[in-house]
Amino acid sequence: MNKAVEEYNFFDPEVIESPFDFYRAAREEAPVYRLPDTDIYFVSRYDDVREALKRTDDFSNNILEKLNVPLKNPEAEAVYAGGWPVADTLLTLDPPRHRVYRSLLNKVFSQKRVDSMQGYMAEIVNELINDWINDGEVDLLNRFCVPFPLHVIADQLGVPRTDLELFKFWSDCFASRLSGFADADKELEDAHAIVSFQRYFMDKVDQLRESPEDTIISDLAHARIDENRLLHPEELLSIIQQLLVAGNETSRATIAGGVLNLIENSNECKRLRSDLSLIPNAVEEILRLETPSCGLWRLVSRDTELAGVQIPEGAMLMVRFASANRDEAVFQQPDKMNVCRHNAGENLAFGRGVHFCLGAQLARKELEVAFTALLARTGNWRLTEGKNNLRHWPNMILRGLEELHIQFDKVQ
């Protein structure tokens, strides 16, 4: 028997792990639902999520102060004090200021430039597959899903591939800081990692200001805004951090989640294998089902209403993309995978409006290249017995599998 929406605790790790019954209850009973004992309003329906994203005057991205909650570990606070403060740039600013920073990167992620990277991406994925293609079994998460997007974003930023393990560690620590589930010990580990990240990249910026290169970081190091000034360290670090995390966490999660979906839906996998031209649409369907950025926060700027619910100034919205992407009013049989779904591309995995994901086209291209190579070179996917817990990292914002071990047949 299905539970009523008030019987769920959104902050319960088990609800975060398997949230879909809660999402369904919220959409049916209270699509703009005030989470008990909080000032958080949970927005679960597709149309309401889209409306909230459009209303930047009512629902602000200027949320940094709200998110800076006290840490459990005072030692971690002291470590952060030795680095640079977090600055508002891309994700935590409203128009028109937001456009100042976004304009610095628009050309980097243009469709034309991303399309030109297809061959380069194919070389990376085929090199990765070559390392295990003859084994018949692979830790796909760590030997493919993680390194592929990390290679791409590291190359684009202009940092050496020899430091990929370090970049993954830093990215994981940023994700942990964002998760809402880090204990005191993890907070301290994350703090040391994040300050190390800051020092590494500021050293890189200093070098590039002396000797420019054709890379994103070099472009940012020399970019000028406002009255022709260079970006401050905290601005640079904020942008680089967002590129590093968004540039690999979400793609790796979507590739892994997509493979698992195709294993669990063998008929859809068979359909896709028989016609690889379906891959772009299948990618949209995988993005809809996986929604690796589950939702984002908004700050209520003034007393307002959404879907008939009165919301006071100062409250927070949790705009839940993952629920909107399973809204029965938009997607027929939303919990079922359909690689030919006619409106899969209407998913909100990358958001909408002025904060539509800057790297959406890059991510889509990565996913298309990854699934094309995997499907062309390996077949008969199945989960390796005894090696998969099929659980996700505990995180209120990001969703990704902890592990994915598969067996396969080499396609001759």
Which tens digit of pLDDT belongs to each residue from 159-197? 898 999 999 999 999 888 887 788 999 999 999 999 999
Q: Where are the alpha helices (DSSP H) in 294-347?
A: 321-324
- Contact between 154 and 160 (Cβ < 8 Å): yes
Which tens digit of pLDDT belongs to each residue from 372-389? 999 999 999 999 999 999
Q: What single-letter DSSP state applies at residue 142?
A: I
Whether the ω angle into residue 212 lies within 30 degrees of 0, i.e. cis, is no
Q: Is the pLDDT of residue 1 over 60?
A: no
Whether the predicted model's global pTM rises above the 0.85 cut = yes
Give the pLDDT confidence score for residue 175 in this predicted structure: 87
Q: Which residues contact 290 (CB under 8 A, 6 or more apart)?
A: 253, 254, 257, 258, 261, 349, 399
Note every long-range contact of 4-7, with CB atoms under 8 Å and residues 24 or more positions apart, other chains counting.
4/29, 5/29, 5/30, 5/33, 6/36
- Share the mean pLDDT of the chain: 94
Which tens digit of pLDDT belongs to each residue from 60-87? 999 887 777 778 889 999 999 999 998 8
Give the pLDDT confidence score for residue 35 in this predicted structure: 97
Which tens digit of pLDDT belongs to each residue from 242-258? 888 877 889 999 999 99
Q: What are the structural domains of the chain?
A: 49-289+351-410 (1.10.630.10)
Q: Is the pLDDT of residue 33 over 80?
A: yes
Which tens digit of pLDDT belongs to each residue from 341-364? 999 999 999 999 888 888 899 999
